[in-house]
């Protein structure tokens, strides 16, 4: 019993401070409330809040005797009631206009907490507040310290990781880029190439060259890395040294590897719908029913389809044989789209075989106008004519001439548009013809460039600048070399009165205005380049020229060249005429000669005998003079030919010195 009384006394001694602490707060709140309306609200709030408070206190009082003895409950019944009433009064006095309905729940929660503290007999509220504040401050301090520690640790980890990465890169770079000695090269040459070693070395050197200033290995220069990479790529992928060097001049190492990897894969199979016979939607439905998996090519083409796989041979379907579509690469669409032919025009395709571009032009013209499809190689004429018949083209004339002679055959200023898909080295279609990796050299590139310049000048001469709808020339190649693309266009801009215009193609990379030591015309940025690793089509170059006037804007060298060509042509004609005359003279019979002489003599005698005699003498004297003139002509021609050879030799020597 003594223990229970001590608990009571402790409980009683703890209650008054809570009352004292609560009363000043209630008084302060009362003083702030001055309006009678607020008092009315208070009374209403009192009448509403009294019942739940009493019920809560009763429940709390009923729960407490379960923990304490029965005697304690009987002795302390009265004090607890008094205290509950006082606490109710304090709660009523403390409720003022500043507490809204939203704060009621907080007050109720606060009263429950006070009831627990009151019954448990904990310390004063001031002590609790001070203890909780100190605990809160200590907790905040601990959290800050822990966060600072975590930040420091994270910063250290990041610094260590960066240092380790740099060390690893340097070590890896040193290991990967170690120039092989002569002995190692000899050993590699004796046996077959180690492909895994070459592949890993290529990857590491490309990574080093991408950030050479940071990952530079000790004792090696960038030139050494590039040379090693060239030799590794040449041996791994099967390229010759010239082509690898030319590609290195065009692309950085990372992009070059993407290009070479793209060359190792085949481009998607594409077909072009023949709009002369069907529509793309109808053709797609028919081919899907035959088990062909296909999709539209792209937004830039309205007639192209991409074939992913097929259960039937795509080049032997009834639709193919009927001419509903043409197997054609996506890059071959581009020159015709740039040409943009119109109906009822005269158009020349200088290199037409096998007929993909020619049939596309005819489809765009709806079989109107006139197309001259020229092909120099006789064996390729079969495929050209076969495709024209199969596709239902009726406005095309097939001819077999050298493209450089077409202005003489068709006439200058005789057509509206010319499409020149020039013969080239084929460095953009290595995926189709892998022999290009080894077969091409600098001399062949120069030969192709010279031929392309001649063909382009001939194509420009055929176009009529005064054409109402045309006057355009489209030049295209399947090569990546600058000497076959930008250099040829720049040459034509200098030699003829033409200007570059936009191709009308929305995609593709702009042509080069500067390339190493070369500086081209600023308008060459209107040309377009297409790459396999970027556009997923064969490497291609497209340029569109507009002829401004029919006057030839040639330099002195070109004038000399044109003059020598004309002279050569005239001299050959004269020689043939003289030979024909000489051949015809002895073939005349003697009887006819006598008759002609007698008739001449009679006529001469009827007029004047003397004049007739003088004419005969003059004729006999002039005969040897004519022979002398002929001899002089031949001597002059020999001198001209010798002078030409000297000039050609001088030009070749100058070109060699410049290189």
HSE of 500 in the Cβ direction (CA atoms, 13 Å)?
A: 25
CA distance 584 to 587: 5
| Residue 225 is a catalytic residue | no
Task: For tokens 């690469």, name the residue.
Answer: 329
List, in order, residues 6 or more apart from 518 with CB less than 8 Å away.
Answer: 482, 486, 487
Residue 351 annotated as binding?
yes
Say which DSSP state 376 is in. Answer: S
Task: For tokens 């199979």, name the residue.
Answer: 269
Q: State which H helix or E strand residue 544 sits in.
A: strand 540-547
User: Could you tell me if 327 and 398 are in contact, meaning their C-beta atoms sit under 8 angstroms apart?
Assistant: no
Both tokens of residue 369? Answer: 């106008």
Residue 483 annotated as binding?
no
CA 293 distance to own-chain centroid: 26
Residue 45 annotated as binding?
no
| Helical ranges in 177-194 per DSSP H | 182-190
Tell me the CA distances in angstroms from 468 to 93, 368, 417, 420, 457, one per residue in order.
102, 17, 11, 21, 21
Residue 386 annotated as binding?
no
Tell me the CA distances in angstroms from 202 to 168, 173, 236, 237, 252, one per residue in order.
18, 12, 9, 11, 14
Question: Across the chain, which distance is largest between two alpha carbons, in Å?
Answer: 188
Nearest to 249 by CA among 517, 486, 509, 428: 517
CA distance 619 to 424: 59
3-class secondary-structure state, position 122: coil
Both tokens of residue 326? Answer: 């043409």
DSSP string, 584-629: HTTTS-HHHHHHHHHHHHHHHHHH-HHHHHHHHHHHHHHHHHHHHH
Residue 605 annotated as binding?
no
CA distance 373 to 369: 13
Nearest to 428 by CA among 510, 354, 330: 330
Both tokens of residue 613? Answer: 């005699």
Task: For tokens 């009831």, name the residue.
Answer: 115
- Directed axis angle between helix 195-210 and helix 253-263, to 10°? 140
CA distance 455 to 491: 12
Residue 352 annotated as binding?
yes
User: Could you tell me if 460 and 492 are in contact, meaning their C-beta atoms sit under 8 angstroms apart?
Assistant: yes
Residue 282 annotated as binding?
no
Residue 563 annotated as binding?
no
User: Could you tell me if 138 and 80 are in contact, meaning their C-beta atoms sit under 8 angstroms apart?
Assistant: no
CA distance 329 to 11: 98
| Straight-line distance from the first to the last Cα atom of the chain, in angstroms, rounded to the nearest whole number | 121
DSSP string, 8-70: HHHHHHHHHHHHHHHHHHHHHHHHH---HHHHHHHHHHHHHHHHHHHHHHHHHHHHGGGTS-H
User: How many residues are present in the chain?
Assistant: 659
Residue 357 annotated as binding?
yes
Residue 356 annotated as binding?
yes
User: Could you tell me if 302 and 287 are in contact, meaning their C-beta atoms sit under 8 angstroms apart?
Assistant: no
Nearest to 458 by CA among 424, 416, 408: 408
User: Could you tell me if 177 and 205 are in contact, meaning their C-beta atoms sit under 8 angstroms apart?
Assistant: yes
Q: Which of 225, 399, 424, 478 is catalytic?
A: 478
Q: Which residues are annotated as a binding site?
A: 351-357, 375, 402, 421
Q: Which residues are annotated as a binding site for S-adenosyl-L-methionine?
A: 351-357, 375, 402, 421
The catalytic site residues sit at 478
């Amino acid at each position: 019993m003594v223990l229970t009384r001590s608990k009571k006394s402790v409980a009683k001694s703890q209650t008054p401070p809570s009352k004292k602490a609560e009363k000043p707060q209630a008084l302060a709140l009362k003083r702030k409330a001055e309006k009678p309306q607020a008092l009315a609200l208070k009374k209403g709030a009192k009448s509403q809040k009294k019942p739940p408070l009493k019920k809560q206190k009763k429940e709390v009082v009923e729960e407490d005797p379960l923990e304490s003895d029965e005697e304690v409950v009987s002795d302390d019944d009265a004090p607890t009631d008094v205290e509950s009433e006082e606490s109710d009064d304090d709660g009523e006095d403390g409720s003022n206009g500043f507490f809204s309905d939203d704060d009621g729940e907080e007050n109720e929660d606060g009263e429950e907490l006070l009831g627990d503290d009151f019954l448990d007999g904990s310390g004063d509220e001031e002590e609790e507040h001070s203890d909780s504040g100190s605990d809160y401050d200590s907790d905040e301090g601990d959290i800050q310290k822990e966060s600072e520690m975590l930040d420091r640790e994270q910063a250290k980890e990041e610094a260590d990781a960066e240092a380790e990465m740099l060390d690893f890169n340097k070590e890896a770079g040193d290991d990967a880029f170690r120039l092989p000695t002569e002995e190692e090269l000899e050993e590699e040459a004796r046996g077959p190439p180690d492909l895994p070693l070459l592949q890993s070395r290529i990857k590491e050197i490309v990574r080093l060259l991408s950030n050479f200033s940071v990952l530079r290995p000790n004792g090696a220069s960038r030139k050494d890395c590039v040379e090693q990479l060239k030799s590794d790529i040449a041996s791994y992928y099967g390229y010759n040294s010239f082509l690898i060097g030319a590609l290195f001049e065009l692309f950085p190492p990372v992009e070059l590897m993407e290009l070479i990897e793209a060359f190792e894969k085949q481009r998607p199979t594409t077909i072009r719908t023949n709009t002369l016979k069907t529509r793309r939607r109808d053709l797609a439905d028919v081919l899907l029913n035959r088990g062909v998996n296909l999709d539209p090519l792209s937004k830039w083409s309205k007639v192209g389809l991409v074939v992913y796989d097929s259960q039937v041979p795509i080049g032997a379907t009834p639709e193919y044989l009927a001419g509903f579509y043409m197997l054609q690469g996506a890059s071959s669409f581009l020159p015709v789209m740039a040409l943009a032919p119109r109906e009822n025009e005269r158009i020349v395709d200088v290199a037409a075989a096998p007929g993909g571009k020619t049939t596309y032009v005819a489809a765009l013209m709806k079989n109107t106008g006139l197309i001259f499809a020229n092909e120099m190689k006789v064996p390729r004429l079969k495929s050209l004519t076969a495709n024209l018949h199969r596709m239902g083209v009726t406005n095309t004339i097939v001819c077999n001439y050298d493209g450089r002679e077409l202005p003489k055959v068709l006439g200058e200023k005789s057509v509206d548009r010319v499409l020149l898909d020039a013969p080239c080295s084929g460095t953009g279609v290595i995926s189709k013809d892998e022999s290009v990796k080894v077969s091409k050299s600098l001399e062949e590139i120069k030969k192709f460039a010279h031929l392309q310049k001649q063909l382009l000048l001939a194509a420009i001469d055929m176009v009529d600048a005064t054409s109402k709808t045309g006057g355009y020339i489209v030049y295209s190649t399947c090569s990546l070399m600058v000497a076959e693309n930008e250099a040829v266009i720049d040459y034509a801009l200098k030699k003829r009165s033409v200007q570059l215009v936009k191709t009308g193609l929305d995609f593709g990379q702009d042509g080069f205005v500067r390339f190493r030591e070369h500086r081209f015309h600023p308008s060459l940025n209107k040309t377009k380049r297409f790459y396999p690793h970027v556009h997923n089509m064969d490497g291609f170059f497209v340029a569109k020229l507009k002829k401004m006037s029919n006057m030839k804007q040639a330099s002195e060298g070109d004038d000399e060249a044109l003059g020598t060509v004309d002279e050569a042509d005239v001299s050959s004609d004269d020689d043939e005429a003289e030979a024909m005359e000489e051949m015809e003279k002895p073939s005349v019979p003697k009887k006819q000669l006598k008759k002609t002489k007698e008739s001449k003599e009679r006529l001469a005698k009827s007029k004047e005998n003397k004049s007739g005699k003088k004419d005969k003498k003059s004729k006999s004297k002039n005969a040897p003079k004519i022979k002398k003139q002929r001899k002089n002509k031949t001597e002059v021609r020999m001198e001209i030919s010798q002078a030409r050879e000297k000039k050609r030799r001088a030009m070749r020597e100058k070109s060699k010195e410049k290189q």
